[in-house]
């Protein structure tokens, strides 16, 4: 069983308590830092005082990147090869 660790991450000046697996702590802290860095970039680039706008654009940027990465994985030659092997194995097992 993985030991849970209580941490607090800070996003845009607000703290959020989380319980995470000890092995995942660094990922969570890095994710929070990435969000905060992106928020700073939007604040410097656009003349708006709306934290909600900056958070929305940050969420949009990460969602878009996630969709792009999913599409990239789907086009992976390895994925195509695994699909072909799965079909061959299914054909063989159906004999």
For residue 93, give every residue at least 6 positions away whose Cβ sits within 8 Å of its Cβ, in sequence order, or none: none
Domain ranges of the chain: 4-93
Rounded-to-integer distance, Cα 31 and Cα 20, Å: 13
Nearest Cα neighbor of 25 from 6, 42, 49 is 6
pLDDT band at 74 (very low <50, low <70, confident <90, very high): low
pLDDT digits (tens, 9 = 90+) for 46-65: 888 788 999 999 999 999 99
C-alpha span between 68 and 53 (Å, rounded): 22
Convert the pLDDT of each residue in 5-59 to its tens digit.
Answer: 999 999 999 999 999 999 999 999 999 999 999 999 999 998 887 889 999 999 9
């Amino acid at each position: 069983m993985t030991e849970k660790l209580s941490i607090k991450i800070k996003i845009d000046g607000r703290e959020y308590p989380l319980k995470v697996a000890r092995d995942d702590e660094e990922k969570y802290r890095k994710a929070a830092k990435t969000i905060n860095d992106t928020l700073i970039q939007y604040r410097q680039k656009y003349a708006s005082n709306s934290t909600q706008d900056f958070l929305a654009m940050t969420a949009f940027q990460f969602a878009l990147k996630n969709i792009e990465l999913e599409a990239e994985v789907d086009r992976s030659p390895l994925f195509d090869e695994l699909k072909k092997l799965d079909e061959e194995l299914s054909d063989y097992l159906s004999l």
